[in-house]
Structure 1
Amino acid sequence: MGPLALFDKSFLEMLSVDQAVLFDLMFSTVISPIFYVEVLADLEKQDPKSRTREKIVADVARKTPVMHSYPNVSHLALCLKELLGSPVAMDGRPHIQGGIPVMHKGKVAIVNEQTPESKAFERWQDERFHDVERDFAASWRKALKEFDNSALATLTKQVLLIEEAPKNPEDALRIASAVLRRDGQHFLNLKLGYYFLGLDPGMWRAVEARWKASGYRPLTDYAPYFTYCLTIDIFFNLLMTKKIISPDRPSNRTDVAYLYYLPFCTLFISEDRLHRRIAPLFLKEGQKMVTGAELKHDLIKLDQYFSALPEEDRNQGMFRLAATPPDDEKYLTTRLWRECGHSTAPKPPIVENPAVHREISQNLKEVVALSRQPQRGRFSQSDLKEPDQRMIRRMIPRQWGKWQVIPDDIK
């Protein structure tokens, strides 16, 4: 599997289905909850090309990665989790929701069944939508239109006692970071950040009490991920006060929300102009941003490369054939793999061993069976954080676009 890539809706919309399959094969993907919201909200979108709203959503759903995808936990849930005492790792790995822990042959395994989002996307591909999804789409677009970005931006500056005015995005990030390091303002930052981010009001007293019990520590040390998200919000609001970012475009706030998930990936892929302008400011060492146009151009070349291979090779299934990109640096994907520490050397042929295959298959069945039984025993936090194995159920199409993904002779 390739580098962990966070992508936005603007990128997938650029791709054909055939190119999207190659993207899914070549990269592991972190799927932000913001992406699901954006796609679903298109049920209320007016399309100038007269496509039905259902077809707009179905088109994106057909191109959404499924083979190596990891839906990330909401930033809201992660912030609250951190403020209540559970650290949030920001090490380039996604945070996956839940899962059922089981003990199998002395080892801890966590089983994640097919996600609700994945099941929904299967329906959306066939233009089947539940009433609750249509209602959500209508409510989301209405809320965006009614949200007063200018008022919130002004309030942020006044309440946090910010006197400086940014001249550019770099300046805004410097000011926002400095505000969160001010001595004597940590409680104000915690309380306002809690409500700016929209965390559960019912949990505020517990969050406040825990922070006070910690010795009133600076937020930058006490809750690094919460601080990171709050920095993005202050940065964004500062830019709107000077209209460096337009407060009149409601979707800007949605676009900025993708930045909350940068700590959980290696690559960020977007064709959005706002992203291209501000996302690089939040990338850490070892992270990269690639524009959608750059990667689409490379996926076109990869399509040509794999299409030119003999039919007998392609019939092996792209899941095996395209497990790595071509070992040739003329391809951007190959260069990205190498820059992110992944080998692109051709993998040796798989030596079939029926006995090993039976053992693996049996172990998988036993672990899944255990996950569907009432669980006994307790698991420690370390067991759940670093299990011996994690299993994720996925529904992979045998044929996707023009590509044979899984050979016909595999059940």
Structure 2
Amino acid sequence: MGPVALFDKSFLQSLSVDESVWFDHFFVANISPLFYIETLADLDKEMSRGKTAEQVVGNIAEKAPQMSGAANISHLDLLVGSLMGYPVSMTNRPVIGGGRQVEAAGKRGVNFDLSPEAKAFNRWQDGEYQKLEREFARAWRAQIKGMTFESSASYAQKLGVDISSCKNMNDAANAANRIVNLTNKPYELIGFIVNAVGIPREYQQKLVRRYQIAGFPPLTRFAPYAAHVIKVEVFFHICVSRGFISADRPSNKIDIAYLHYLPFCNVFISGDKLHRSTVDLFLKDDQRFVWGPDLKMDLGRLNAHYMEFPQEVKDKGVLSFASRPPTEVDYLTSELWDLLGPSWRNSEGDTAPITQETNDKILEHVKQFTDAPTLPPDGIVDPLDEVDSVSLQRSVRRKRGSWYQVPKDLKDG
């Protein structure tokens, strides 16, 4: 398992199908809802210009990750949850929903069925597109654009922050950081958040009460993930108002929203200039921004490297002969794996394939959990790390591009 990679649509779109296989194989993809929104937005836009759905979406759906990774919960849902007191894990891993707690053979487990996004990509690869999905994406897009921080200047003044003194993006980030660390004007801060984010009325009183009981700590301690989102949004609107970011490009609002998912990845990959100029202001020391064209080139080099392998080796599937990136040549992918620690370089390399008997036992164990009924509410365990097993269902095509993702002779089912 490689580093968790958040990526934007421009990066995946730039890849060949073969390059996308290696991205999927060597990275754990965090598929943000924004990627889904952008893809369906393109479908609506280009079909209105006379293109077919297959021309617009089929190609990018073919490149969507299948082997690893997961679809992250929307930052809007996580933001409200954070403010309401539900902890949001910010440990460089995707936050996924839909898990079912089950029990089998005296052990507890959590099953994550195939996500709606993965099902959608599978349909798109087969040329099937549902009107409901496009309408859902439109609603998501409108919700994101509905977050309005245009009054940041007046609220910042109430909170004692003068954004007119911001001379560059660095100053804007510092000003936004001061706002989420304030403790002396709690009601002004909560008023700012409620109005800007659009907190549903039924939650507002509970939010204020929670903040009072907590003793009005800085937002970074009261609701860390909410503080991250607010900081990004305030930064963006300061930059727009000061002219550091163009107000004439509507897509900037969606592009900046990718930064809300930074707490859920090791690397962020993009070919977008706005991301390149802003993301370093929000990354932690153990994270890295990767310029999309650089990684595309590296994946192309890896593809050429593995193309030299004998056909009988390639027929066994990429999992059997490339369990880790090569170490004998300097690859960017190998360098990014070092974010997880150097120990992988000292391992013995690709492992021998497991026996059919062992494989059957593993499948039987997994099947026990995936077929088990969901536990009743009074049987749910908390926290999640008390469970013995976690399984995620995936739908994987036998062959993509030039590569068998699973053994060529693997039986269906």
Matches of 1:76 and 1:5, distance apart in 2: 20
> What's the counterpart of residue 96 of structure 2?
96
Q: 1:226-273, CA deviations, whole angstroms, 9 ceiling, x for partnerless residues? A: 111100011000000011101121110100000011011101100000
**Aligned-pair distance for 1:52?**
3.3
> What's the counterpart of residue 61 of structure 2?
61
**Aligned-pair distance for 1:187?**
2.5
**Aligned-pair distance for 1:346?**
4.8
Name which of 358, 361, 372 aligns with 1:359. 361
Matches of 2:91 and 2:217, distance apart in 1: 23
Over the aligned positions, Cα root-mean-square deviation in angstroms equals 2.5
Matches of 2:396 and 2:270, distance apart in 1: 25
Say if 1:19 and 1:299, in contact at 8 Å, map to a contact too: yes
Which residues in structure 2 correspond to 1:116-155 (within 5 Å)?
116-136=116-136, 152-155=148-151
**TM-score calculated relative to the size of structure 1:** 0.91
Say if 1:20 and 1:63, in contact at 8 Å, map to a contact too: yes
**1:159 and 2:155 correspond:** yes
Matches of 1:99 and 1:304, distance apart in 2: 39
**Aligned-pair distance for 1:60?**
1.3
> What's the counterpart of residue 381 of structure 1?
382
Q: Please state whether the residue corresponding to 2:217 is helix, strand or coil.
A: coil
Q: Please state whether the residue corresponding to 1:6 is helix, strand or coil.
A: strand
Q: Please state whether the residue corresponding to 2:379 is helix, strand or coil.
A: coil
Q: Please state whether the residue corresponding to 1:197 is helix, strand or coil.
A: helix
Q: 1:379 to 1:323 in 2, by over 3 A?
A: same
Matches of 1:385 and 1:199, distance apart in 2: 31
> What's the counterpart of residue 44 of structure 1?
44
Say if 2:287 and 2:339, in contact at 8 Å, map to a contact too: no
Matches of 1:380 and 1:75, distance apart in 2: 25
**Aligned-pair distance for 1:364?**
1.2
> What's the counterpart of residue 107 of structure 1?
107
Which residues in structure 2 correspond to 1:321-400 (within 5 Å)?
321-341=321-341, 343-344=344-345, 345-350=347-352, 352-371=354-373, 375=376, 377-382=378-383, 384-400=384-400
**Aligned-pair distance for 1:386?**
4.9
Matches of 1:38 and 1:12, distance apart in 2: 12
> What's the counterpart of residue 276 of structure 1?
276
**Aligned-pair distance for 1:136?**
4.5
Matches of 2:406 and 2:228, distance apart in 1: 41
**1:228 and 2:228 correspond:** yes
Counterpart of 2:109 in structure 1: which amino acid?
A
Q: 1:136 to 1:305 in 2, by over 3 A?
A: same
Say if 2:101 and 2:110, in contact at 8 Å, map to a contact too: yes
Matches of 2:292 and 2:327, distance apart in 1: 22
Q: 1:151-170, CA deviations, whole angstroms, 9 ceiling, x for partnerless residues? A: x5541111231423221111
Counterpart of 1:73 in structure 2: which amino acid?
I
**Aligned-pair distance for 1:126?**
2.7
Counterpart of 1:381 in structure 2: which amino acid?
D
Q: 1:88-132, CA deviations, whole angstroms, 9 ceiling, x for partnerless residues? A: 121111111131101233432100110011101111223321122
> What's the counterpart of residue 404 of structure 1?
404
The farther-off stretch of 39-48 and 163-172 is: 39-48
> What's the counterpart of residue 310 of structure 1?
310
Matches of 1:313 and 1:109, distance apart in 2: 35
The farther-off stretch of 352-361 and 165-174 is: 352-361
What is the percentage of aligned positions where both structures have the same residue?
36
Say if 1:41 and 1:136, in contact at 8 Å, map to a contact too: no
Instruction: Count residues with an aligned counterpart.
Output: 405
**Aligned-pair distance for 1:377?**
4.6
**Aligned-pair distance for 1:355?**
4.5
Q: 1:358 to 1:236 in 2, by over 3 A?
A: same
The farther-off stretch of 260-269 and 212-221 is: 212-221
Counterpart of 2:218 in structure 1: which amino acid?
P
Q: Please state whether the residue corresponding to 1:108 is helix, strand or coil.
A: strand
Counterpart of 1:241 in structure 2: which amino acid?
S
**Aligned-pair distance for 1:325?**
1.2
Which residues in structure 2 correspond to 1:116-265 (within 5 Å)?
116-136=116-136, 152-161=148-157, 162-165=161-164, 166-265=166-265
Gap regions ≥5 residues in structure 1 = none
